[in-house]
Amino acid sequence: MEEIEIVQQMFTESPPTPATLALGRQRVVQGTRVRRRAYATPLWAAGLALGAAAVVSVVVLGGGSGTPRPQESIRLSAAQQVLTNAAFFADAQPALNSQPGQWIHYRFAGYDPKSANPVYHGEAWQRLDGRQDASLIGGRLVVTGPTAAGPEVYTPLGAWRRLAALPTEPEPMLAALSDQPDLSTDPALTPDQRAFANAGELLWNSPLGTPPEIGAALYRALAMLPGIRLDEAADVVGEPAVGLSLPGTPEILFDPATYRFLGERVVSDGVRKGRPQPPAGMSAAKLAAWRQWADDPANQQVPAAGTLISSRLRLTATVVGRPGSR
Protein backbone atom coordinates (compact mmCIF):
# COMPACT_ATOMS: atom_id res chain seq x y z
CA MET A 1 0.00 0.00 0.00
CA GLU A 2 1.34 3.44 -0.89
CA GLU A 3 2.15 5.66 2.12
CA ILE A 4 -0.19 8.40 0.93
CA GLU A 5 -3.04 5.89 1.15
CA ILE A 6 -2.11 5.12 4.75
CA VAL A 7 -2.14 8.79 5.64
CA GLN A 8 -5.60 9.03 4.06
CA GLN A 9 -6.82 6.18 6.24
CA MET A 10 -5.37 7.73 9.41
CA PHE A 11 -6.88 11.15 8.99
CA THR A 12 -9.70 10.65 6.44
CA GLU A 13 -8.65 13.78 4.62
CA SER A 14 -7.87 14.61 1.04
CA PRO A 15 -4.31 13.56 0.13
CA PRO A 16 -1.64 16.02 1.30
CA THR A 17 1.01 17.36 -0.99
CA PRO A 18 4.38 15.55 -0.91
CA ALA A 19 5.97 18.52 0.85
CA THR A 20 3.28 18.66 3.50
CA LEU A 21 3.45 14.88 3.99
CA ALA A 22 7.20 14.97 4.50
CA LEU A 23 7.00 17.85 6.95
CA GLY A 24 4.12 16.25 8.84
CA ARG A 25 5.92 12.92 9.13
CA GLN A 26 9.05 14.60 10.46
CA ARG A 27 7.16 16.50 13.14
CA VAL A 28 4.90 13.66 14.16
CA VAL A 29 7.91 11.36 14.63
CA GLN A 30 9.45 14.03 16.88
CA GLY A 31 6.27 14.31 19.00
CA THR A 32 6.91 14.00 22.71
CA ARG A 33 5.14 11.82 25.24
CA VAL A 34 6.24 13.73 28.34
CA ARG A 35 3.63 13.97 31.10
CA ARG A 36 3.69 16.32 34.05
CA ARG A 37 2.78 13.69 36.69
CA ALA A 38 2.10 9.96 36.80
CA TYR A 39 -1.49 8.83 37.30
CA ALA A 40 -3.44 5.65 36.79
CA THR A 41 -4.34 5.08 33.16
CA PRO A 42 -7.82 6.58 32.58
CA LEU A 43 -10.63 5.05 30.55
CA TRP A 44 -10.15 7.50 27.69
CA ALA A 45 -6.76 5.93 26.95
CA ALA A 46 -8.25 2.51 26.13
CA GLY A 47 -8.07 3.37 22.43
CA LEU A 48 -4.28 3.63 22.63
CA ALA A 49 -2.36 0.42 22.15
CA LEU A 50 -0.47 0.48 25.48
CA GLY A 51 -2.13 3.26 27.55
CA ALA A 52 -1.42 6.96 27.78
CA ALA A 53 2.35 6.58 27.47
CA ALA A 54 2.14 4.47 24.33
CA VAL A 55 2.41 5.48 20.71
CA VAL A 56 0.55 4.26 17.66
CA SER A 57 2.88 3.05 14.94
CA VAL A 58 2.07 2.53 11.29
CA VAL A 59 4.63 0.65 9.23
CA VAL A 60 4.71 2.09 5.74
CA LEU A 61 5.33 -0.43 2.97
CA GLY A 62 6.16 0.45 -0.56
CA GLY A 63 8.69 0.32 -3.33
CA GLY A 64 8.88 1.19 -6.97
CA SER A 65 9.59 -2.43 -7.94
CA GLY A 66 6.31 -3.64 -6.46
CA THR A 67 8.14 -5.54 -3.68
CA PRO A 68 6.99 -4.37 -0.23
CA ARG A 69 9.81 -3.01 1.87
CA PRO A 70 9.70 -1.48 5.35
CA GLN A 71 10.14 2.25 5.65
CA GLU A 72 10.06 4.61 8.63
CA SER A 73 7.16 4.29 11.07
CA ILE A 74 4.63 7.07 11.57
CA ARG A 75 4.16 7.40 15.35
CA LEU A 76 1.45 9.24 17.21
CA SER A 77 2.14 10.19 20.81
CA ALA A 78 -0.70 10.12 23.34
CA ALA A 79 -1.07 13.90 23.03
CA GLN A 80 -1.23 13.69 19.25
CA GLN A 81 -3.79 10.90 19.50
CA VAL A 82 -5.98 13.14 21.68
CA LEU A 83 -5.77 15.92 19.09
CA THR A 84 -6.54 13.49 16.28
CA ASN A 85 -9.63 12.29 18.15
CA ALA A 86 -10.62 15.90 18.82
CA ALA A 87 -10.36 16.54 15.06
CA PHE A 88 -12.72 13.65 14.34
CA PHE A 89 -15.20 15.01 16.91
CA ALA A 90 -15.02 18.54 15.49
CA ASP A 91 -15.47 17.34 11.93
CA ALA A 92 -18.69 15.53 12.90
CA GLN A 93 -20.38 18.59 14.42
CA PRO A 94 -23.21 20.36 12.56
CA ALA A 95 -22.56 23.72 10.92
CA LEU A 96 -24.22 26.66 12.69
CA ASN A 97 -26.02 29.66 11.25
CA SER A 98 -26.34 31.99 14.24
CA GLN A 99 -27.34 35.66 14.36
CA PRO A 100 -25.94 38.54 16.49
CA GLY A 101 -29.20 38.96 18.43
CA GLN A 102 -29.25 35.35 19.63
CA TRP A 103 -27.92 34.22 22.99
CA ILE A 104 -25.73 31.41 24.22
CA HIS A 105 -26.60 29.64 27.47
CA TYR A 106 -23.73 27.80 29.12
CA ARG A 107 -22.91 25.94 32.31
CA PHE A 108 -19.43 26.39 33.66
CA ALA A 109 -16.97 25.50 36.40
CA GLY A 110 -13.53 26.67 37.34
CA TYR A 111 -10.94 27.87 39.84
CA ASP A 112 -10.53 31.61 40.49
CA PRO A 113 -7.54 32.52 42.73
CA LYS A 114 -8.98 35.99 43.37
CA SER A 115 -12.07 34.63 45.11
CA ALA A 116 -12.37 33.68 48.77
CA ASN A 117 -14.14 30.53 47.54
CA PRO A 118 -12.00 29.80 44.49
CA VAL A 119 -13.85 26.73 43.16
CA TYR A 120 -17.00 27.82 41.36
CA HIS A 121 -19.87 26.36 39.31
CA GLY A 122 -22.73 28.16 37.63
CA GLU A 123 -24.63 29.08 34.51
CA ALA A 124 -24.87 32.26 32.47
CA TRP A 125 -26.13 33.74 29.22
CA GLN A 126 -24.33 35.96 26.71
CA ARG A 127 -25.61 37.65 23.58
CA LEU A 128 -23.63 36.47 20.59
CA ASP A 129 -22.44 39.98 19.73
CA GLY A 130 -21.06 40.29 23.27
CA ARG A 131 -23.09 43.38 24.16
CA GLN A 132 -25.28 41.83 26.86
CA ASP A 133 -24.82 39.28 29.63
CA ALA A 134 -27.21 37.62 32.04
CA SER A 135 -26.84 35.51 35.18
CA LEU A 136 -28.84 34.30 38.14
CA ILE A 137 -28.30 36.32 41.32
CA GLY A 138 -30.22 35.09 44.34
CA GLY A 139 -32.42 33.06 42.02
CA ARG A 140 -33.35 36.13 39.96
CA LEU A 141 -32.29 36.63 36.35
CA VAL A 142 -30.22 39.81 36.03
CA VAL A 143 -29.46 41.14 32.53
CA THR A 144 -26.67 43.69 32.04
CA GLY A 145 -26.11 45.94 29.05
CA PRO A 146 -26.26 46.67 26.28
CA THR A 147 -22.71 47.93 26.44
CA ALA A 148 -20.50 49.49 23.81
CA ALA A 149 -19.03 46.96 21.43
CA GLY A 150 -15.67 45.65 22.67
CA PRO A 151 -12.94 43.86 20.72
CA GLU A 152 -14.78 41.51 18.39
CA VAL A 153 -12.42 38.61 19.00
CA TYR A 154 -13.62 38.47 22.62
CA THR A 155 -17.27 38.04 21.63
CA PRO A 156 -18.85 34.66 20.80
CA LEU A 157 -19.72 35.55 17.22
CA GLY A 158 -16.51 37.51 16.64
CA ALA A 159 -14.31 34.65 17.81
CA TRP A 160 -16.30 32.21 15.67
CA ARG A 161 -15.77 34.43 12.63
CA ARG A 162 -12.04 34.71 13.37
CA LEU A 163 -11.82 30.93 13.54
CA ALA A 164 -13.89 30.55 10.35
CA ALA A 165 -11.38 32.73 8.46
CA LEU A 166 -8.40 30.50 9.29
CA PRO A 167 -6.81 28.43 6.51
CA THR A 168 -7.16 24.65 6.64
CA GLU A 169 -3.66 23.64 5.53
CA PRO A 170 -1.46 22.86 8.57
CA GLU A 171 1.45 25.25 8.01
CA PRO A 172 -0.69 28.26 7.03
CA MET A 173 -3.02 27.43 9.94
CA LEU A 174 -0.16 27.52 12.45
CA ALA A 175 1.25 30.70 10.92
CA ALA A 176 -2.15 32.40 11.15
CA LEU A 177 -2.65 31.28 14.76
CA SER A 178 0.74 32.63 15.79
CA ASP A 179 -0.04 35.99 14.14
CA GLN A 180 -2.90 37.21 16.36
CA PRO A 181 -1.55 40.44 17.92
CA ASP A 182 -4.83 41.18 19.71
CA LEU A 183 -4.49 37.88 21.57
CA SER A 184 -0.76 37.32 22.16
CA THR A 185 0.77 39.71 24.67
CA ASP A 186 3.85 37.81 25.86
CA PRO A 187 6.86 38.66 23.65
CA ALA A 188 8.83 35.76 25.15
CA LEU A 189 6.63 33.13 23.49
CA THR A 190 7.94 31.30 20.43
CA PRO A 191 5.77 31.11 17.28
CA ASP A 192 4.72 27.56 18.22
CA GLN A 193 3.80 28.66 21.75
CA ARG A 194 1.83 31.64 20.40
CA ALA A 195 -0.03 29.41 17.96
CA PHE A 196 -0.97 26.98 20.72
CA ALA A 197 -1.95 29.67 23.24
CA ASN A 198 -3.96 31.65 20.67
CA ALA A 199 -5.78 28.51 19.57
CA GLY A 200 -6.88 27.93 23.17
CA GLU A 201 -7.98 31.55 23.59
CA LEU A 202 -9.99 31.56 20.36
CA LEU A 203 -11.67 28.26 21.23
CA TRP A 204 -12.59 29.60 24.66
CA ASN A 205 -13.94 32.88 23.26
CA SER A 206 -16.16 30.94 20.85
CA PRO A 207 -18.79 28.97 22.81
CA LEU A 208 -20.37 28.36 19.39
CA GLY A 209 -17.44 26.06 18.65
CA THR A 210 -15.91 26.20 15.17
CA PRO A 211 -17.00 25.45 11.63
CA PRO A 212 -16.51 21.66 11.43
CA GLU A 213 -13.75 21.69 8.83
CA ILE A 214 -11.88 24.47 10.65
CA GLY A 215 -11.98 22.72 14.02
CA ALA A 216 -10.70 19.50 12.50
CA ALA A 217 -7.91 21.32 10.64
CA LEU A 218 -6.93 23.30 13.75
CA TYR A 219 -6.47 20.21 15.93
CA ARG A 220 -4.54 18.37 13.20
CA ALA A 221 -2.27 21.38 12.82
CA LEU A 222 -1.63 21.55 16.57
CA ALA A 223 -0.72 17.84 16.50
CA MET A 224 2.25 18.76 14.29
CA LEU A 225 3.81 20.93 17.02
CA PRO A 226 6.75 19.22 18.75
CA GLY A 227 6.86 19.06 22.52
CA ILE A 228 3.15 18.86 23.41
CA ARG A 229 2.67 17.50 26.93
CA LEU A 230 -0.29 15.57 28.30
CA ASP A 231 -1.85 15.87 31.77
CA GLU A 232 -4.84 13.64 32.47
CA ALA A 233 -5.53 14.75 36.06
CA ALA A 234 -8.72 16.40 37.23
CA ASP A 235 -7.93 19.50 39.32
CA VAL A 236 -9.72 20.75 42.45
CA VAL A 237 -12.73 21.71 40.32
CA GLY A 238 -13.41 17.98 40.12
CA GLU A 239 -14.32 17.83 36.42
CA PRO A 240 -12.44 15.10 34.51
CA ALA A 241 -10.36 16.55 31.70
CA VAL A 242 -7.39 15.78 29.49
CA GLY A 243 -4.98 18.72 29.34
CA LEU A 244 -2.47 19.43 26.56
CA SER A 245 0.14 22.17 26.65
CA LEU A 246 3.47 23.42 25.42
CA PRO A 247 6.00 24.79 27.94
CA GLY A 248 4.88 28.29 28.91
CA THR A 249 1.29 27.96 27.64
CA PRO A 250 -2.03 27.26 29.35
CA GLU A 251 -3.37 23.75 28.99
CA ILE A 252 -6.15 23.18 26.47
CA LEU A 253 -8.70 20.87 28.12
CA PHE A 254 -10.76 18.16 26.42
CA ASP A 255 -13.59 15.95 27.58
CA PRO A 256 -11.91 12.54 28.11
CA ALA A 257 -14.92 10.67 26.70
CA THR A 258 -15.86 12.72 23.62
CA TYR A 259 -12.72 14.87 23.05
CA ARG A 260 -14.88 17.99 22.94
CA PHE A 261 -13.07 21.21 23.86
CA LEU A 262 -13.84 22.06 27.49
CA GLY A 263 -11.67 25.03 28.41
CA GLU A 264 -8.25 25.97 29.70
CA ARG A 265 -6.12 25.51 32.79
CA VAL A 266 -2.97 27.30 34.01
CA VAL A 267 -0.58 25.17 36.09
CA SER A 268 2.67 26.49 37.53
CA ASP A 269 5.93 25.16 36.13
CA GLY A 270 7.79 26.46 39.17
CA VAL A 271 9.84 28.84 37.02
CA ARG A 272 7.65 31.44 35.32
CA LYS A 273 5.14 33.79 36.87
CA GLY A 274 1.73 32.34 36.21
CA ARG A 275 -0.90 34.80 35.01
CA PRO A 276 -4.38 33.48 35.85
CA GLN A 277 -7.04 33.53 33.19
CA PRO A 278 -10.40 35.31 33.57
CA PRO A 279 -13.07 33.07 35.11
CA ALA A 280 -16.12 31.90 33.21
CA GLY A 281 -19.49 33.56 33.64
CA MET A 282 -18.37 37.12 34.38
CA SER A 283 -20.21 40.17 33.08
CA ALA A 284 -18.22 42.61 30.93
CA ALA A 285 -17.94 45.12 33.80
CA LYS A 286 -16.68 42.55 36.31
CA LEU A 287 -14.33 41.10 33.72
CA ALA A 288 -12.63 44.48 33.20
CA ALA A 289 -11.99 44.82 36.94
CA TRP A 290 -10.72 41.24 37.16
CA ARG A 291 -8.27 41.77 34.31
CA GLN A 292 -6.93 44.88 36.02
CA TRP A 293 -6.26 42.76 39.12
CA ALA A 294 -4.59 39.99 37.09
CA ASP A 295 -2.35 42.47 35.25
CA ASP A 296 -0.87 43.70 38.55
CA PRO A 297 2.58 42.05 38.87
CA ALA A 298 1.96 41.71 42.61
CA ASN A 299 -0.74 39.17 41.81
CA GLN A 300 1.46 37.09 39.52
CA GLN A 301 3.41 34.63 41.62
CA VAL A 302 5.67 31.62 41.02
CA PRO A 303 4.10 28.85 43.09
CA ALA A 304 5.56 25.36 43.34
CA ALA A 305 5.57 23.30 40.15
CA GLY A 306 2.25 21.56 39.59
CA THR A 307 0.23 24.13 41.56
CA LEU A 308 -3.08 25.07 39.95
CA ILE A 309 -3.21 28.80 39.15
CA SER A 310 -6.58 29.00 37.39
CA SER A 311 -8.98 26.92 35.36
CA ARG A 312 -12.16 27.55 33.41
CA LEU A 313 -14.40 24.95 31.83
CA ARG A 314 -17.52 25.35 29.71
CA LEU A 315 -19.47 22.18 30.44
CA THR A 316 -22.42 22.80 28.08
CA ALA A 317 -23.35 25.49 25.56
CA THR A 318 -26.69 25.97 23.77
CA VAL A 319 -27.89 28.70 21.40
CA VAL A 320 -31.18 30.19 22.69
CA GLY A 321 -33.46 33.04 21.71
CA ARG A 322 -33.41 35.03 24.96
CA PRO A 323 -31.73 35.10 28.38
CA GLY A 324 -33.30 32.71 30.85
CA SER A 325 -33.96 30.08 28.20
CA ARG A 326 -32.18 26.75 28.35
Per-residue pLDDT of 189-202, as tens digits, reads 999 999 999 999 99
Query: So what's the pLDDT on residue 19?
Result: 53
Residue 146: cis peptide before it, omega within 30 degrees of 0: yes
Q: Is the pLDDT at 238 greater than 80, yes or no?
A: yes
What's the confidence (pLDDT) of residue 108?
96
pLDDT at 74: 54
pLDDT of residue 103: 97
**Summary mean pLDDT of the chain:** 80
Confidence at 98, pLDDT banded by 50, 70, 90? confident
pLDDT the model gives residue 112? 93
What pLDDT sits at residue 236?
A: 83
Please write the tens of the pLDDT for every residue from 178-235: 999 889 778 889 999 999 999 999 999 999 999 999 999 999 999 999 999 998 877 8
- What is the Cα–Cα distance from 59 to 127, expressed in whole angstroms? 50
pTM over 0.75: yes
Q: What pLDDT shows up at residue 256? A: 93
Residue 52, pLDDT score? 37
At 126 the pLDDT is: 95
